[in-house]
């Protein structure tokens, strides 16, 4: 059974850093686009970053460019989100998602991503 499990969330002060990890089991990510989304209080999922299966292209939301970095280790079946210079507005639940083959166009469409993790809470205090 395919499963994505996020970890690494927590509470930090503004300016701090966190590293999220998405571990895939039962699902080889080497041939899949992988992405991170966040869920707003209004329950809308918003794209944060995505990475093509061979890391040839990285995509970021404007709000995180220069602060967040997405990466992957296909051998470990893991995807990461390095989050630096965190701000209170980054507070949300963060989800890992997987799509088939190449990332959709645009990359932050929710519907094409077939597999989702359960989410990990990120809380940034001022």
Residue with tokens 């059974």: 1
pLDDT confidence of residue 107: 96
What are the pLDDT digits (tens) for 69-125? 999 999 999 999 999 999 999 999 999 999 878 999 999 999 999 999 999 999 999
Residue length, the chain? 126
Query: Whole-number mean pLDDT of the chain?
Result: 95
Question: What one-character-per-residue DSSP string does 76-92 give?
Answer: TTEEEEEE-S--GGG-E
Q: Give the pLDDT confidence score for residue 115 in this predicted structure.
A: 94
State how far the Cα of 18 lies from the Cα of 40, in Å rounded to an integer: 19
Share of the chain above pLDDT 70, in %: 100
Say if residue 49's pLDDT is above 80: yes
């Amino acid at each position: 059974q395919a499963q994505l499990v996020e970890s690494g969330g927590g509470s930090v002060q503004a300016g701090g850093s966190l590293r999220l990890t998405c571990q895939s089991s039962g699902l080889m990510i080497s041939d899949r686009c992988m992405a991170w989304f966040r869920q707003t209080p209004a329950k809308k999922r918003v794209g944060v970053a995505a990475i093509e299966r061979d890391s040839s292209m990285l995509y970021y939301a404007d709000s995180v460019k220069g602060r967040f970095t997405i990466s992957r280790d296909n051998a470990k079946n893991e995807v990461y989100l390095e989050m630096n210079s965190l701000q209170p507005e980054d507070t949300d639940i963060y989800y890992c998602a997987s799509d088939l083959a190449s990332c959709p166009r645009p990359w932050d469409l929710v519907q094409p991503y077939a597999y989702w993790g359960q989410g990990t809470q990120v809380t940034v205090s001022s």
